Amino acid sequence: MAIERDTKDWTWVLTEVCGECGYDASAVDLDDVPDRIRTNAAAWAGILADRPDVRERPDDQTWSPLEYACHVRDVHVTFDQRVQLMLETDDPAFENWDQDETSTDGRYDEQDPMDVAEALRNAAAQVSGRYGAVKAAAWERTGRRSDGAVFTVGSLARYHLHDVEHHLHDVTG
C-alpha cells in the first residue's frame, strides 16, 4: 500500500525545536555535523543487521525500518550533491526531489538490508567529509530549493541533520 505523500514544509525546524524528536537546530554547532551524521549512520547499520522486523511497516502510513534507511541513504546523497553545488556555484537552484517517487521507483521495500547499510554508511561518510571541509565563509553560501526556500550551507547542514536524526527517532522511538 502506498504511503500518503508528505507535503509538510519542514524548514520550520531551523527556527523551532521539533516536537516529535526534540531536535534543536539552534543548539547544533556546525563543526559537530560530520560526527553526528556518521554516528547516525552507524545506528542505522545496527538496525538493519539486528531487527527481524526490518521489512515490516508498523502501520499502513509508516515506512518500515528498511524503507527509512533507504531514504536516509538517499538524503545523504542528495544533500552531498546540493552542498557541492552551493560551494561551486553562486546561489544555485536545486532540482526538485520527489522523495515519494524515489521510494517507489527505487523499490525501497525490496532492497537488501546489508547493501543498504553499506551504501548508507558510504553516503554518510561522503557528505560528512564535504561538511568537514567547508571553510568559515563558505557556510554562508546560498542555494534555493524548487519551492523557493533559501538555505545557506550552514542551514542546509542543520536541516539535513534533522532529517536523518528525525528518521532514526521514527524507527527507534
In the chain, what are the domain boundaries?
30-172
Give the β-pairing of 142-144 and 150-152.
antiparallel
User: Any idea which residue has 531551523 for its cell?
Assistant: 14
Output the pLDDT for position 111. 96
Q: What is the pTM of this model?
A: 0.93
User: What is the per-residue pLDDT for 173?
Assistant: 84
| C-alpha dihedral (6, 10, 16, 18), degrees to nearest 10 | 40
Nearest to 144 by CA among 101, 98, 90, 67: 90
Cβ proximity of 154 and 142 under 8 Å: no
* pLDDT for position 8: 66
**Correct CATH for 30-172 of 2.60.40.10, 1.10.357.10, 1.20.120.450, 2.30.31.70:** 1.20.120.450
Read off the pLDDT of residues 142-167 as tens digits, 9 standing for 90 and up. Answer: 999 988 999 999 999 999 999 999 99
Residues of the chain with pLDDT under 50: none
Q: Apex CA 149: angle with CA 4 and CA 39, to 5°?
A: 70
* Predicted pLDDT of residue 3: 64
The pLDDT score that the predictor gives to residue 97 is 75
User: Given this model, what pLDDT does residue 10 score?
Assistant: 81
